Structure 1
């Protein structure tokens, strides 16, 4: 079904309150008969504020005048009142100057009324207002329906009403906007998706909801008009088309038959006649569709990041990343490698992104500080420092894909890190059989992308097609995560190797650490050995989830009695 006729509902027709001629008459009447001084000249501030407010209130906001016309009419209104008020000033006391251009305050009011400038705050109600993000609604063009936080966009729009605005003047405009703009929150409803042609409701039952003081009705799996009350800063570059048809494209060589995106994704994890390979990779194709769906559903709290892992090239993970970027559009994603999350200005691109997609991470990296990385994955509030601009408090709502050739090592070895990781193994190699036109042509075609968007909204979800809110974890991902925990944490690897070999049922920490030192020197002679206290802390955390051993208090002293003499583990402990 075509959706090209959908328009922005925030542009619904409204009627001008009064004509320009009537407005002038009303303004003169107000200043001539205002309480407390009809024969005394009104203060200049009252003239500017009242005339500007009344003029803007008289406009039909669905069809406002062009910037030059608006400037001319507003200046004419001010001129008429200033001239009239000057007649009330006694001779010799001077007169009010005639305005030749709109003031910074007037430009700011125009931006507020006509361009929906707002302050976007994180959902955390305790966030300081000075860290809000100033943004402007876009009614027309490729970005219609979303808010832009671009200072260039805001300055360009402001100068349409006063071309003489200086850099300092614009700073004054911004200051007024930050004081007067209404405070709003980004859309947080997990089932609302900003597609290129409108808002798609992912739910399976109709929804009636009030957002931003406005009542909305959404039908399941259908596209609805954009509205300024629905605050999005990013949208997909692809139209949502109901029941978009499956697309088959002939290969350049007719002998190869036809290409279809679903069959291509399946083939990444399936080899005809190789039962062992297919069993090992079962569920990964369905998970891949879920990951693509997560990219366009950024307001679901996935609490996971997908790592596409392969130690060899030509395996399809880069081509999948390309599909994800095409689905989102050039302005809706960014690339921040894992190690860069600790850099001061590296996170600024998140402001205008729905996803992080990284094709390559350096081999052998060690991440010293993972705080920002974990915060981004779980959509918590973080401070983003921006070059030469005011920092903002921001919640990134989006999904992250990181391609890795080897698994990065983190100083953080907590479960809070590991439970955020979803590692997909890409073990199939296409070396010698690459089909570059899949990435360079097929996955860029509009009809293919429209089908992919329809499919991830209506059909993706291994356990519940068209209604999934968690990513599945096939056996291959669980095996790889377990291996990664040991690779990232030598203490865990040590414990895994020895935990079933001990005959004592009481293991003193000093004994375990001495054994660990010998083991570590053997398996990693050039590695950095952790200190005794750190070893104890790490091991204590690992043992909390161990069904064979336990330690309730790492500082508690336990009398060994006969525990070191018997091989029995009737009361296992690591203390």
Structure 2
């Protein structure tokens, strides 16, 4: 079936014809065509005649395609014209093979779901966008390319946006047919991976190549679902803003320098802001902005980051949300997590999703009343904390992902609310920050100052009583051999004194953790080590923590040295000081077996 050569000229406003007549000769030649085949052919040929760069309004497409469809149906119902019928013959004489009864196709009042699905695919460049790196058949969302508007250059994967688009081609469409249209789209759209190139940064007016420092135009071949809503302006200047009310001058460079007297810390804060703009770089860190009091600027810095990205590109998820997979649904659509409020006393029970999000690995996202799905989050996470949270996961694999940034300044006195409410929203300020972070930098890792390294070590001790115990007891011990049983007995008494409201871990969990920490403290894990020569002196830890289980039961006097010299076995399994370990000692082991 083909279009007539005398198809009316395209409308100036929409780029399509005002009527869509189809040559009945072509329809007649396809009398064995199914109804679905007829509808598909009409729709495909109509859409092929539209320039997607000057797409007509949805109501025009609906009207024209409906007319073209009904024209084709009428031609199909008439059948081929009898070539011997004279001019002026009656309809029945000219078309003797007209369809009758159930063979006749009914004229349409609405576009059907398949037609709307084809429109969305062809005119709006709809594709399936995978949620992770797998090739799973159904783990994707339908994304609709935005040719204009605030999200120009990105794909909208929201169900609401897709439903609105579908309804724009039939305002009376039923909810059932909306679902059917979406199902058809999932069947007919090509499925694509998101663009993962770490050098490409989507900004408000194009795609910036971080390596070549060059701004390119938008292109549907780039599959992005979010962008910065700030224009890249080559050579943007740092604006200085004067406040007539208090006589102050403000600029963003000077303001950033106020956060710390350490230039390395200021540089790190700039890098953190820049990391939120470059979601495809695997930073392998999450930034925790920490201060135990207010008026330190953490929240205002978060405002700058949010304004740089714009609405829809970031989500606010507190740390406790990562223990609840139902809370993570927004991460399929955003490129940054920026949270300026976390509850005091936060406890992260399950850090699996947290680690996956930091390292850009897939995690399982639960959905209410729907099947869970595997999701890969590409982006950077910033959390503000007034109290360092407690983590059940105390592994180095998690600790090395944490970048704890202390905010030590206090901005007392008159609060300058206009910085947050006005200055950090200004177009020229944001354009300068964007230009600085993209055009004048060249980094792919965060430069961590010693202050942050020290802060992380403090956090490790505070988060993990076993680690704190290990660092204290291994350093203070007099014996060169510390049996497993002695260490656990000592830990229980130490814990009662230092963490009176807490609950000590069990023996096996304690020993597993302690074995992982021993090497850091200068001790080896060994089996069957002779006590002779290693435990000959009194051990003051016995008295210090009142470890009665290891006091000399046969001595009733007051000499502390004799109290701390218990009767010992010939050998023990335990921890041996590295500086005293010899080749005749027991083998180093990672055994988890209980001590006899």
Sort the Cα spacing of 1:177 and 1:545 in 2 relative to 1 into closer, same or farther, 3 A.
farther
Does structure 2 conserve the Cα–Cα contact (< 8 Å) formed by 1:48 and 1:78? yes
| Among candidates 337, 350, 356, match of residue 369 of structure 1 | 350
Give the secondary-structure state (helix, strand or coil) at the position aligned to 2:327: coil
Q: Pick one of 547, 558, 562 that aligns with 2:528.
A: 558
1:300 alignment partner in structure 2: 281
Gap change, CA 1:185 and 1:86, over 3 Å in 2: same
Alignment partner of 2:106 out of 91, 94, 97: 97
Tell me, what secondary structure is at the counterpart of 1:385? strand
Q: How far, CA to CA, are the matches of 1:145 and 1:248 in structure 2?
A: 32
Distance in structure 2 (CA, Å) of the matches to 1:475 and 1:41: 79
Deviations 1:336-371 (A, max 9, x none): 000111224211122222211111111112211111
Q: Paired residue for 2:224, among 227, 232, 248?
A: 232
Q: Which residue of 2 aligns with 1:543?
A: 518
C-alpha distance 151-91 of structure 1, shift in aligned 2 (>3 A): closer
Q: 1:30 aligns with which of 19, 26, 29?
A: 26
Counterparts of 2:490 and 2:103, CA distance in 1 = 93
CA contact (8 A) 2:331 2:377 kept: yes
Is the counterpart of residue 221 in structure 1 residue 229 in structure 2? no
Instruction: Return the index of the structure with the highest Cα Rg.
Output: 2
Does structure 1 conserve the Cα–Cα contact (< 8 Å) formed by 2:364 and 2:375?
yes
Q: Does the CA-based 8 Å contact 1:492-1:539 persist in structure 2?
A: yes
Number of the residue aligned with 1:184:
192
Distance of 1:282 and 1:246 partners within structure 2: 19
Could you tell me which residue of structure 2 aligns to residue 534 of structure 1? 509
Give the SS at the match of 1:112. helix
Q: After TM superposition, list the pairs within 5 Å mapping 1:30-49 onto structure 2.
A: 30-34=26-30, 40-49=31-40
Give the corresponding residue for 1:470: 445
Contact 1:196 1:240 (C-alpha < 8 Å) held by counterparts: yes
Q: Which protein has greater RCO, CA pairs closer than 8 Å, 6+ apart? A: 1
SS at match of 1:400: strand
TM-score of the pair, normalised by structure 1: 0.85
Query: Are 1:445 and 2:426 matched, yes or no?
Result: yes
1:186 touches 1:232 (CA, 8 Å); kept in 2? yes
- Say whether the 8 Å CA contact 1:334–1:357 is kept in structure 2: yes
**Structure-2 residue corresponding to 1:76:** 67
Larger deviation, residues 69-78 vs 242-251: 69-78
State the Cα deviation string for residues 18-38 of structure 1 (Å, max 9, x = none): 97889723xx4433335xxxx
Distance 1:110 1:490, change over 3 A: same
- Map of 1:330 onto structure 2: 311
Structure 1, gaps ≥5 residues long: 1-15, 35-39, 204-219, 271-280, 460-465
**1:453–1:563 distance in 2 versus 1, CA, 3 Å:** farther
SS in 2 for 1:448: helix
Whole-angstrom distance in 2 between the partners of 1:113 and 1:93:
33
* Structure 2: runs of 5+ lacking an equivalent: 1-13, 80-97, 538-576, 590-596
Distance 1:83 1:390, change over 3 A: farther
CA-atom RMSD in angstroms: 2.3
TM superposition score normalised by structure 2 = 0.82
What is the rounded CA distance, in whole Å, between the counterparts of 2:511 and 2:174 in structure 1?
62
User: Secondary structure of 1:413's partner?
Assistant: coil
Counterparts of 2:100 and 2:194 in 1: how far apart (Å)? 56
Distance 1:93 1:302 in 2: 65
**Native 8 Å contact 1:132 1:392 kept in 2:** no
Distance across 2 between alignment mates of 1:238 and 1:18: 35
Q: Find the aligned partners of 1:158 and 1:93 in 2 and give their Cα distance.
A: 30
Q: Within 2, Cα distance between the matches of 1:18 and 1:237?
A: 33
For residue 507 of structure 1, give the secondary structure of its aligned residue in structure 2.
strand
Structure 1: how far apart are the matches of 2:439 and 2:480? Answer: 54
Which residue of 424, 434, 437 maps to 2:415? 434
Contact 2:132 2:375 in 1 (8 A): no
Aligned partners of 2:365, 2:171: CA distance in 1, in Å?
32
Q: In the TM superposition, what is the alpha-carbon distance from 1:560 to its structure 2 partner?
A: 1.9
Residue 217 of structure 1 is matched in structure 2 by none
| 1:21–1:252 CA distance, 2 compared to 1 (3 A) | closer
Equivalence for 1:63: 54
- The residue number in structure 2 matching 1:341 is 322
User: Are 1:173 and 2:181 an aligned pair?
Assistant: yes
- How many Å apart are 1:57 and its aligned residue? 1.6
Q: CA deviation at 1:259?
A: 1.3
Say whether the 8 Å CA contact 2:16–2:56 is kept in structure 1: no
- Residues 77, 504 of structure 1: alpha-carbon distance in 2 compared, 3 angstrom cutoff: same
Please state if 1:249 is matched with 2:236: no
In structure 2, the residue matched to 1:208 is: none
In 2, the alpha carbon distance for the partners of 1:41 and 1:62 equals 36
Cα distance in structure 2, aligned partners of 1:457 and 1:387: 40
**1: CA distance, partners of 2:103 / 2:230:** 62
Q: What's the secondary structure of 1:500's corresponding residue?
A: helix
After superposition, where does 1:128-167 map in structure 2 within 5 Å? 128-167=136-175
> 1:489 and 1:188 mapped to 2: Cα distance?
37
Task: State the partner residue of 2:545.
Answer: none
Counterpart secondary structure, 2:107:
coil
Is 1:410 the counterpart of 2:391 in the alignment?
yes
Q: Distance in 1 between matches of 2:372 and 2:25?
A: 47
Q: Which moved more, 1:353-362 or 1:105-114?
A: 353-362
Q: CA deviation at 1:539?
A: 1.0
Going from structure 1 to structure 2, the CA distance change for 1:21 and 1:152 (only over 3 Å counts) comes to closer
For the Cα contact (< 8 Å) 2:131–2:332, is it kept in 1?
Answer: no
* Deviations 1:381-401, CA, capped at 9 Å, x for gaps: 123334455644321111111
Summarize the Cα distance change of 1:91–1:479 in structure 2 as closer, same or farther, 3 Å threshold: closer
User: Tell me, what secondary structure is at the counterpart of 2:524?
Assistant: coil
Q: Counterparts in 2 of 1:277-316, with a 5 A limit?
A: 281-316=262-297
Q: Distance in 2 between matches of 1:471 and 1:318?
A: 21
